[in-house]
Amino acid sequence: MSDRDLAGLGSAHVEVEVDRIRGAVRERARDEVAEEVPVAFVYNGEPFAVMLASPLDLEDFAVGFSLTEGVIGSVSEFGGVEVVPEANGYSVYVSVPKTRSAELSKRHKSLAGRTGCGLCGEQMLENALRPVPPVTQAATFTVAALQKAIVALSGGQQLNLLTGAVHAAAWADAEGDVRYLREDVGRHNALDKLIGALQRAGVDAGTGFAVVTSRASYEMVHKTAVAGIPMLAAVSAPTALAIRQAAAAGLTLVGFAREGRQTIYAHPARLQD
């Protein structure tokens, strides 16, 4: 089972009154909807980016975002995090080495990102498509393990079961058991939160694989590779750029990963019958 349960999800959803119509019947009812708030990342006192996200697992988000956005080179450079509630969202204050702060000033990722936006705010093309690091892990997985994880992913989405409005990213071990799962209104955010959770727990991410409820974009491939996860399986389709980048990086990329079927787009030898 994953480490995610209903505990602590209160801030991530709210109850609203709605008019529900089913056929000829109209009734006043109450519904659970996903919360969405601005989350500002501030490094060594300097604002860097504002993302719209679910107000959940923000410490994990800070670690994963910092790593996959290249703010830090490894989790050892992550000095600490403080999450501060604001009137309209959260400020996440992160400590990183001073040399990293100097590099951040060159990027100026100052525009607010839309929900789960991966490249929003980048002002230079060279920052938009950063090289995907090579995946060196030699782990292999079975189709049976992937199918087991797909089923567990669906059942483990507690916030989505309440609201029907969020994405999930999960990490499964070689047997297909989902050990970590994170949810967010943004697909990139969910994956960053998952990566942060793995890093904070000291898990060897290369011994398992990731399953996500979204399509597989370049950014999802990039984040997975940065985390050292050798296989990414998405319930929807990949983009052509994602396939090219996965092929170049040595990452196994699986699309349409659903019960009873999957399509392998890059490095199929890692997924065995």
Residue 57, classed as helix, strand or coil, is coil
Told to judge if 117 belongs to the known catalytic residues of this protein, a careful annotator would answer: yes
Tell me the CB-side half-sphere exposure of residue 76, using CA atoms within 13 A: 1
**3-class secondary structure, 163:** helix
Q: Is 210 left (phi over 0), alpha (psi -120 to 50) or beta?
A: beta
Bridge partners (DSSP) listed for residue 246:
none
As beta bridge partners, residue 47 has 42
Exposure b/e, 60-80, CB count within 10 A at least 16 = b? bbbbbbbbbbebbeebeebee
One of 9, 56, 58, 117 is an active-site residue; which one?
117
> Could you list the active site residues?
117
